[in-house]
Amino acid sequence: MFYMSKYVEFLDTYFLILCGRPVSWLQFLHHCGAPLNFGLLYLTKSEGMWIIVCFNGFIHTIMYYYYACCILKWSFPLPKPLITVMQLVQFASGGIGFGFYPYVQTAGKWFWDDGPRRFSWWVTYDYVGILIMLFSHFYVRNYVVPARIKRKLKKDAAKAE
């Protein structure tokens, strides 16, 4: 069921459009890659998928509430940059937890000795690595750089007085 929910998440794109925001490469790659990655994890019966499912479900609950607030013109109770920080924490902590699965043995067989599971593990790490880079870039571009520009403008304005 969670795998199927990845297709429902294409609604995120519609929420962005409803809020008047452009659809970025981050959005496109994140939502195209998620069904592929979760499908691969499902097909290879990767036990570590529960970590990713729990963390991903938690962050998407918060994100959908944020989108609902945008559409309904309600105030969102958390600072907006916190959503991106939480996504980055989700990727990093999920990656750490999933990283132990090569050392797991089930039904007398080591996770790492199963070629398809090993492949799904590598695909997941590559995908999450790309997402960490894209989300980090998004965070810096949207929250760090504008804050620096604001500080510089204030400083310049103070000097001009």
Residues with Cβ within 8 Å of residue 120, at least 6 apart in sequence = 40, 41, 43, 44, 46
Give catalytic status of residue 30 as yes or no. Answer: yes
The residue-averaged pLDDT of 90-115 equals 88
When divided into structural domains, the chain yields a total of 1
According to the model, what pLDDT value does residue 24 have? Answer: 85
Q: Which stretch of 39-48, 80-89, 100-109, 126-135 has the lowest confidence by average pLDDT?
A: 100-109
Domain extent for 48: 2-160
According to the model, what pLDDT value does residue 109 have? Answer: 84
Residue 69 has pLDDT above 80, yes or no: yes
Residue 11 has pLDDT above 90, yes or no: no
